[in-house]
Structure formats: structure tokens, C-alpha cells
Structure 1
Amino acid sequence: MSPRRVRPSLYVSVDIEADGPIPGPYSMISLGAAVAGRQDADGFTAADPEEHTFYRELRPISEEFDAQALAVSGLDRDRLCREGTDPATAMAGFTAWVGEVSAGSQPVVCGYPVAFDWIFLYWYLVRFTGGSPFGHSGCMDMKTLYATKAGTPLRAVAKGTMPRHLLSRRRHTHHALDDAVEQAELFANLMRWEGPAS
């Protein structure tokens, strides 16, 4: 019996900003994504993270918000209520973009950490488009990737504990696209890193 052929993975760095801790009662207010690289049987190939990107600011879906969470992004919620992209339109556009950039590959979300961004992204995709181009579990956590390669407990991982050569030289601005691009560079560095001995 011949082995099952596995499609390459296309890694998409995703960062979201939200006005609260969970989707539904609270809203995703911006979404940024950047292609980080591709992995096939021959290994990982990094992408230029500025070449294929996606960014939208979204109209809130409820009246509830947490002022501290909102302050992180610096986005004006009143402006988003008037001018933000309809969530269904934004998610349909994102799904189409993922389909274009991942043609022939399986798309995988990567994030630092992925849990917060994934819960909002997946909820919005299912709620507003009926499904996810990443399936229900197509995500990879960069903190876990680092912890595994470094032999470090996960809860001890922070960017400040990582070797400087792994980090992007870009600032973490809490603008979703800026941070998606920054994290795409971190992901590529982590994928190529062989661990502390290297």
C-alpha cells in the first residue's frame, strides 16, 4: 500500500484585535494576515511577509466592549460602528484571499500565541461564512513551537526569553497587519531554527 500523499502546508500569520476577551458578546475589530511560508516534503521555505497580506477593520457586532481591551489597538470604536467593514463581507473576503494564496496547499494559521486569535477568527468564519478554510483545527502556536525546540516549559516562554536572532526587527504595534507581518518573520525564523545547540 502506497503512502497517502499529503499536500504542502501554507502558513498564514494572523493577528486580530478585539474589544473584549471572547467572540459573540464582544467583537473582533481588526484582522491582519500575512503569508509566512510554505512547507512540503523538501522542507520549509519562508515567504516575504509583505508580499501577500490582508487587512480589514470590522464593524462591531454588539454593544458590549471592554475599555481596556479596546485601548490596546487604539482603534476608534465609534468610527468602526459607522465605517467598519460588515463582518460577513470581511470574512468572505478573507476566505477568498486564503483560497488564492494557498492554491495547491493546505492553509494553516500561525500565531503568537495562537489561542486568542484563533478563537475569534474561527468563530467569525463559522458565524459569518458557515465554515473555515483552515478546518476546525488548522492552527499552529509559535510559543509551543519555540518551547518544543528549546526544551523549555511552555509557561516560561516569552519573546524576551528567546534568542534575539529569532525575533523580528519590526516593532509590535498592536496594529493587526503590522503584527501579522512581524510574527510571520518570527515564525520563519523558528521553523529554520534547530534549537539551542545551533
Structure 2
Amino acid sequence: MAEEIYVSTDIEADGPIPGPHSMLSFASAAFRADKTLLGSFEANLTLLPGAEGNPQTMAWWATQPEAWAACRTNLRDPTEAMSAYVAWLKLLPGKPVFVAYPAAYDFMFVYWYLIRFAGESPFSHSALDIKSYAMAALGTEYRQSTKRNMPKRWFDNLPHTHVALDDAIGQGALFCNMLAEQSSRQR
């Protein structure tokens, strides 16, 4: 059986759903369970034709000028970027598992863009949600399983900048730390 590779992914968008709104950027950091970083992929995307930013989302972006500038440079066409992403995923030394916080939001955009622009998803139809994993690990209710309620030992000293690659690496390390702790408990 192929090793699972945890592909921690973060996206930045200009609205709550793909189609009417665009994924501005995304990044993935591929980790082995032991927190070995195998590589990363990132892309800033051109806007979808006819799509426009959601007013509330754009108001939030106005408070994040550095992150906004970072996701609006070196723009790539979604067809080219998503095809390159699929090729990158297929070169990983195992089966890619999509991991995110929150997975429902990030996966919705990535899956939609993969199917629309590359015609396939190497992740199939599934994503692993870090918050749900924390709920099980901590034995808490879902809404109590927020980052502020997670043990500090789960976090590496990594920035959360709303730049997709920074956030993908940070949440990937978080997930691997959680995974290691759960694995040690089961021994």
C-alpha cells in the first residue's frame, strides 16, 4: 500500500464560493507523517471571467495589504496552474491526502478548480480537516476545537501571514505534530 503524503493546502479567495468568486492564490506543502517536508507548490491565479469580489471579503482584504500584494503578483492562468499542480501531485512518493484548516472551505475551491481547469482531482472527493482531527484528539466539541484552545506544544514557531505558502506550511506542521502525539498514545 502506498504511503500517505499529507498535502497541507491553504487558499486565498475574494469570496465565499468558487465560480461567482475567484481563488486568488493557493499553496500546498507535502509532508510525510514524520513532518518531513517533501516539497511545495504555489500559484497566484488570474481572476475568473465574470467573477467579482464579495464586498465583505474585499473589506477584509483591505485590512491585509501585504498579503493582498503577495497574492496579486506573478499571476498564472488557472488552466496552466492547475495542470502543473496535478503533475506535481502525481510526482509525490505516495498517495496525496488533502489536509486543511478548514478543509471544507479550502477543498471546495481546490476541487472546483481542479475539475474545471485540469479535469481531475488526485485527491478524489475527500479532505482531512485539522479542526475535526483536533476535536477527536482533544475529546472536545467541534466548536471548542479552535486553534486558541489547542495545546501550544502542537504549534511550531511558524508565521500565519495569509500568504498561502506560509499558512500551508504552518498548518502542515501543526497536523504532523498532532498526528505524532496521537500515534505515541496508541503505542
TM-score (structure 2 length as normaliser): 0.87
User: What residue number does 1:192 align with?
Assistant: 180
Q: 1:58, 1:116 → 2: CA distance?
A: 17
CA RMSD of aligned residues (A): 2.3
Q: CA deviation at 1:75?
A: 2.1
User: Which segments of 5 or more consecutive residues in structure 1 lack a partner in the other structure?
Assistant: 1-5, 38-43
User: What residue number does 1:57 align with?
Assistant: 44
User: What residue number does 2:2 align with?
Assistant: 7
User: What residue number does 1:98 align with?
Assistant: 89
Structure 2 vs 1, CA of residues 171 and 89 (structure 1 numbering), >3 Å: closer, same or farther?
same
User: What residue number does 1:140 align with?
Assistant: 128
User: In 2, are the aligned partners of 1:23 and 1:120 still within 8 Å (CA)?
Assistant: yes
Percent identical across equivalent pairs? Answer: 38
- Structure 1 ranges of 4+ moved more than 3 A: none
TM-score (structure 1 length as normaliser): 0.83
Q: CA deviation at 1:45?
A: 2.5
Q: 1:64, 1:55 → 2: CA distance?
A: 22
Equivalent residue for 2:76, pick from 79, 85, 88: 85
SS in structure 2 at match of 1:74: helix
Q: CA deviation at 1:46?
A: 2.1
User: Which segments of 5 or more consecutive residues in structure 2 lack a partner in the other structure?
Assistant: none
Matching of residues 1-198 of structure 1 within 5 Å: 6-37=1-32, 44-48=33-37, 51-61=38-48, 62-70=50-58, 71=61, 72=64, 74-76=67-69, 84-101=75-92, 103=93, 105-137=94-126, 139-194=127-182
